[in-house]
Structure 1
Amino acid sequence: MTKPIHKRESGILATVHKTAVGLARANVIDKATMREFDELCLTPVEPMAPEEIKALREREQVSQPVFARYLNVRKDAVSKWERGEKRPDGPSLKLLNLVRAKGLRAIA
């Protein structure tokens, strides 16, 4: 049916999601509604300013090359993000948001 949602910061959200999964299995909630509910539960991906990226890396106490390895990007990408020359997007931005929410170990 549906996979469990990864955003579990809220015990209430986890409980409501578990209930919705049960209702979907019982055919009380249709698949389209369940997909919409799953989407609402995803961790939002928000743009990050250069200062936020640098602060995040420093919070995790890693160098630019090490941070780049965790994110599977080149070291110069992290450097350019922190200087504001480029902006992360797509999977890189998603990973940065996950690190912000859950720490570097979440993507290790």
Structure 2
Amino acid sequence: MAKKVSNLTAALLETADDLHDGGLMSDDTYRKITVRHMGPEAPPTAVPISAQEIRTVREEAHLSQAALAKYLNLTTGYISQLERGTKQAKGPALALLNVIRRKGIEALL
């Protein structure tokens, strides 16, 4: 159940929408505001990543499944499941995989 947004918060979110639409507020700042105030109704911040993309990210970083698991604080078996497509990355694992996809493994080192 989503929490009710107060009138003040609604006005601030409307202003943030206008600033974002006008190019005066960055996407990152806008997402932080909406996630904080809108909860589950906010736009997603992490893009889903396919099994093949996870394998590609890992191989481009020249990492074994065990090494990637260690960087992400996950098990090797979970990385294997992600790469086979039997599980979908969610939460912090998805966020970190998106960071690695965009900026490379160096962003975690």
The aligned residue for residue 64 of structure 2 is: 63
- Name the aligned partner's letter for residue 86 of structure 2: E
Q: Secondary structure at the match of 1:48?
A: coil
Structure 1 length-normalised TM: 0.62
Residues 19-44 of structure 1: CA deviation (Å, up to 9, x unaligned): xxxxxxxxxxxx7656x741348xx4
The aligned runs of 1:3-82 (5 Å cut-off) are 33=15, 37=25, 38-40=29-31, 44-82=45-83
Cα distance in structure 1, aligned partners of 2:52 and 2:88? 12
Name the CA distance, whole Å, in 1 between partners of 2:64 and 2:55. Answer: 10
Give ranges in structure 2 of 5+ residues lacking alignment. Answer: 1-11, 33-44
**1:75-94 equivalences in 2 (<5 Å):** 75-94=76-95
- The two structures have a TM-score, normalised by structure 2, of 0.62
User: How far 1:94 sits from its partner (Å)?
Assistant: 0.3
Moved over 3 A (4+): 31-34
Letter in 2 for 1:49: S
**Structure 1 residue 87 displacement after superposition:** 0.6
Identity %: 36
Number of matched pairs: 78
Structure 1 residue runs without a partner (length 5+): 1-30
